Amino acid sequence: MRLVGLTGGIASGKSTISNLFKASGIPVVDADIVARNVVQKGTGGWKKIVEAFGNDVLLENGEIDRARLGQIVFSDPEKRQVLNRLLAPHISSGIFWEILKLWIKGCKVIVLDIPLLFETKMDQWTHPVIVVWVNEATQIERLMSRDGCSEEQARNRINAQLALDWKKSQADIVIDNSGTLDETKEKFQEVLRNVSEPLTWKERLRSRDGLFSVVVCTAVGVLLAQKNLL
């Protein structure tokens, strides 16, 4: 099994690239969706948030008020750290279960779309690491227009993550998404070819079918050895 890391900065275009992977038949685990699921009303993550931030961050129906919590944590690094520490174990085990489900299905290449891949050091489990990069002016413009936020709020969110240029320097593959969608789609084709290359023998061993072959071969070997000993 090949675990491909997909990351970048906020609004750099990870979901756009994720959608292209999905459209090409490659499954994607989306950490933002996992992070949403683990804080649904009544879950362990939800209880921890209410304990730490109080009822002020709840909507009338009891769900987390994401806009309110976002305002708090993106303007206060200490509070953000608290939230990250509380949710990290829930998010990583959620990602693990999603991978396991796809592994059981026999998927050989899985893309992990994780905005904080480097920040959480999960990059060590993925190869190759793809960084979706945009220049800062484009990033701010797209973030403001997508989320309807001010430039200050956009900068706060960008500064809550490691610098995108640094992430770019750590990448195995960089997708420059500063141009048009058509240009990005063209670049994506090359990335798709790269990611779809035949699995290495290590990756084959980590896949469901590879593990199954090892188990069968070992069992046959043991049976033959026992037969020879009798």
Ligand X SMILES: Nc1ncnc2c1ncn2[C@@H]1O[C@H](COP(=O)(O)OP(=O)(O)OP(=O)(O)O)[C@@H](O)[C@H]1O
Ligand Y SMILES: CC(C)(COP(=O)(O)OP(=O)(O)OC[C@H]1O[C@@H](n2cnc3c(N)ncnc32)[C@H](O)[C@@H]1O)[C@@H](O)C(=O)NCCC(=O)NCCS
Binding site for ligand Y (CB under 6 A): 10, 31-32, 35, 66, 69-70, 73, 80, 83-84, 87, 91, 114-116, 160-161
Give the DSSP per-residue string, 210-227.
HHHHHHHHHHHHHHHHHH
Q: How far is the CB of 62 from ligand Y (least distance, A)?
A: 15
Q: How far is the CB of 220 from ligand Y (least distance, A)?
A: 43
Nearer to ligand X, 1 or 191 (CB): 191
Q: Which of residues 172-201 bind ligand X (CB under 6 A)?
A: 177, 180-181, 184
Residue 102 interface partner, choices ligand Y, ligand X, none, CB cut-off 5-8 Å depending on type: none
Three-class secondary structure of residue 94 per DSSP: helix
Residue 73 interface partner, choices ligand X, ligand Y, none, CB cut-off 5-8 Å depending on type: ligand Y
Q: How far is the CB of 196 from ligand X (least distance, A)?
A: 21
Residue 69 interface partner, choices ligand Y, ligand X, none, CB cut-off 5-8 Å depending on type: ligand Y
142 binds ligand X (CB under 6 A): yes
Residue 181 interface partner, choices ligand Y, ligand X, none, CB cut-off 5-8 Å depending on type: ligand X
Q: Nearest 5°: phi and psi at 7? A: -145, -170
Closest CA to 143 of 129, 127, 159: 159
70 binds ligand X (CB under 6 A): no
Whether omega for the bond prior to residue 77 falls within 30 degrees of 0, making it cis, is no
Placement of tokens 């240009």 in the chain: 183
Rg (CA), the chain: 21
Closest CA to 184 of 128, 146, 133, 117: 133
Q: In the chain, where does DSSP find H-type helix?
A: 14-23, 31-37, 44-53, 66-74, 77-105, 136-147, 151-159, 164-170, 181-195, 201-206, 208-229
Rounded (10°) CA dihedral 162, 191, 147, 59: -80
17 is in an annotated binding site: no
> Near ligand X by CB under 6 A, which window of 8-16, 39-47, 186-194, 197-205?
8-16
Residue 83 interface partner, choices ligand X, ligand Y, none, CB cut-off 5-8 Å depending on type: ligand Y
11 binds ligand X (CB under 6 A): yes
Binding-site entries for ATP: 8-15
